[in-house]
Structure 1
Amino acid sequence: MVTRRSVQTGTTQDKCHLEAGGNGGPNADTGSHQEKLTHFGFKTVNEEEKESLVGRVFANVADKYDLMNDLMSGGVHRLWKDHFIRTLAPSPTTKLLDVAGGTGDIAFRFLDYVKTANGGLGNASVTVLDINPSMLEVGKKRAATNGYSTDSDHISWRVGNAENLESIPDNTYDAYTIAFGIRNCTHIDRVLKEAHRVLKPGGRFMCLEFGKVETPIISNLYDIFSFEIIPTIGQAVANDRESYQYLVESIRKFPPQPVFRDMIRSAGFLVVGPGWEDLTFGVAALHSGYKL
């Protein structure tokens, strides 16, 4: 019998990181330095470690990443991403920054949408930014099969950290997208602040990320699939159970939809209506905000 995991999701208080010590707790540091801790899946690690640990995960899964997305979601992730781009509704003048977009799934959809809806790409362009060079290499290889040159005026590839986009000037992009990537960042609040900074006034922030399922029966089934099936598929297809175990755990540690909505608002974005749209019972959610 598989039992449902009891998992504590993130909150606005932790902002995806913790500070050890304080209040005389078991990890209290009596010196002047407090070790900063964060979560890596269900494990607690030093903040400095998380980036390299996450980097190792995505270096390991890069070659099988798109195949595993299909197997893990039954192909539904494609529908979510299609809807994501339709909601953005880019034009031939849209300049997009797609963050954590290594394999190009969002970038190619963006370009395909503009070309189909307008009979051509016009001046539309997308910069695909990812901290992991292995993921970007997969995206570059896919570009040719999707009909796009890797050195095209319409698509460029860039290694970068979502928490610090110092090489990008203020007010540069019309739109900023991040799909299934923000939960892997150590400081989500910094990512959101940087997104706000690099967007032009009137620009749109859009995030597609896994959410919290509220329907009990669906939630129980989702937990069984996540914790028992997905790591097994990872072992069978990619010979890597551990990386996919982390990916499942990282989903459960991500803040629920209302909390993440409030984080977007706190970063300076105008949030319209509820601020998010649940997809497939809340398994995924589409979040949106505008820079005034």
Structure 2
Amino acid sequence: MSEQVSFGYEDVDPAEKTKRVGAVFSGVASKYDIMNDAMSGGLHRLWKDQFVRRVKPQANEQILDMAGGTGDIAFRMADEGASVIVSDINQEMLDVGIERAMQRGIDGLVWSRQNAEELTFTNRQFDAYTIAFGIRNVTHIDKALREAHRVLKFGGRFFCLEFSTMNWPGAKEAYDLYSHKLVPQLGQMIAGDAESYRYLIESIRRFPPMPEFEQMIRDAGFVRTKVEPILGGLVAIHSGWKV
């Protein structure tokens, strides 16, 4: 039997997942940031601020922002003086980010189409590797984590912001109802695409719980790993070091 990976609640061939995830983000790229505001009530902006504070980007550091798409994380790190390469497997997402950077007058970012599982960068090139709300869409998460470890310098740091599993009693049930019932409707109203947002919610449910994902980060070679739950685990910041 051939290998199967999750695409939402379905199990599909790896090549099929890569193709279908690409189609999802090509379809929603132009409305992605508007939908993030609608789905989270603007909270995603605070989560990203907190994430970048944990990264502590420094002037003259080389940082790879993977699945950086529309530039939200990269813009914040560039403000601190870091040299950032924004990478994404989806060109439509990168195009939105490039346009946003031009509108904001943000220069100096490098935009590079990359597959997180097979990066073209050299060994030990970056001081930090960031990925926000992107790791769960990777076909082989373990391969992406190993690539993150490979391209980091010794002493380099890995940071991942991702949805997780809310553990607050009562709130968890309310969130499940909201995400499964209302988010696809918002997707239809704002982006004209309910199915893509249904997949995005399902992908959150299929993503490994926090302890399991932390172990995957360790298995990729990182040490001093840490998990910081936000809002009872609705989202979490995962981190680790390469030594």
TM over 0.5: yes
2:120 matches 1:162: no
Contact 1:179 1:207 in 2 (8 A): yes
Aligned match for 2:83, one of 104, 119, 125: 125
Equivalent runs, 1:235-254 vs 2, <5 Å: 235-254=188-207
- 1:287 counterpart residue number: 238
Tell me which residue corresponds to 2:71.
104
Is 1:195 aligned to residue 148 of structure 2? Answer: yes
When you count helix as a share of all residues, which structure comes out higher? 2
Match in the other structure for 1:271:
224
% identical aligned pairs: 53
- CA distance in 1 between counterparts of 2:240 and 2:54 reads 12
Structure 1 residue 101 displacement after superposition:
0.4
Do residues 179 (structure 1) and 137 (structure 2) align?
no
* In 2: Cα distance, 1:96 partner to 1:176 partner: 6
Is the Cα contact below 8 Å between 1:268 and 1:291 reproduced in 2?
yes
How many Å apart are 1:271 and its aligned residue?
A: 2.4
Corresponding residue for residue 72 of structure 1: 39
C-alpha distance in 2, partners of 1:183/1:243? Answer: 14
List aligned pairs for 1:12-91, cutoff 5 A.
Answer: 34-91=1-58
Distance across 2 between alignment mates of 1:157 and 1:93: 18
Displacement, 1:47?
1.2
State the 1:35 CA deviation. Answer: 1.4
Q: State the shift of 1:216 in Å.
A: 2.3
Residue number in structure 1 paired with 2:95: 137
**Aligned-pair RMSD on alpha carbons?**
0.8
The one-letter code sitting in structure 2 at the alignment partner of 1:218 is A
Contact 1:175 1:199 in 2 (8 A): yes
Distance 2:132 2:182 in 1: 23
Would you say how many aligned residue pairs link Structure 1 and Structure 2? Answer: 243
Give the Cα–Cα distance (whole angstroms) in 1 for the partners of residues 213 and 5 of structure 2: 17
Is contact 1:108-1:146 (8 Å) kept?
Answer: no
Q: TM-score, normalised by structure 2?
A: 0.98
Post-superposition Cα deviations, 1:167-191, rounded to whole Å, max 9, x if no partner, equal: 2110000000000000001111000
Residue identity opposite 2:179 in structure 1? S
**Offset at 1:78?**
0.3
1:280 CA displacement: 1.5
**168-177 or 34-43: bigger deviation:** 34-43
Any idea what the Cα deviations from partners look like across 1:198-256, whole Å, max 9, x if unmatched? 00000000000001111221110110110011000000111100000000000000001
Determine which structure has more spread, i.e. the larger CA radius of gyration.
1
2-structure distance, mates of 1:286, 1:106: 13
For residues 103-147 of structure 1, what are the alpha-carbon distances to aligned partners after superposition, in whole Å with 9 as ceiling and x for unaligned? 0000001112x1xxxxxx3xx310000000000000000002222
TM-score of the aligned structures, taking structure 1 as reference length = 0.82
Asked if the contact 1:96/1:127 (under 8 Å) is kept, the reply is yes
CA contact (8 A) 1:99 1:162 kept: yes
**Residue type matched to 1:240 in 2?**
D
SS in 2 for 1:246: helix
Structure 2 letter corresponding to 1:64? K
Match of 2:118, SS state, is coil
SS of residue paired to 1:216: coil
Which 4+ stretches in 1 moved above 6 angstroms? Answer: none
Following the alignment from structure 2 to structure 1, what is the Cα–Cα distance between the partners of residues 156 and 36? Answer: 29
The residue that corresponds to 1:256 in the other structure is: 209
SS at match of 1:281: helix
Q: Name structure 2 gaps, 5 residues minimum.
A: none
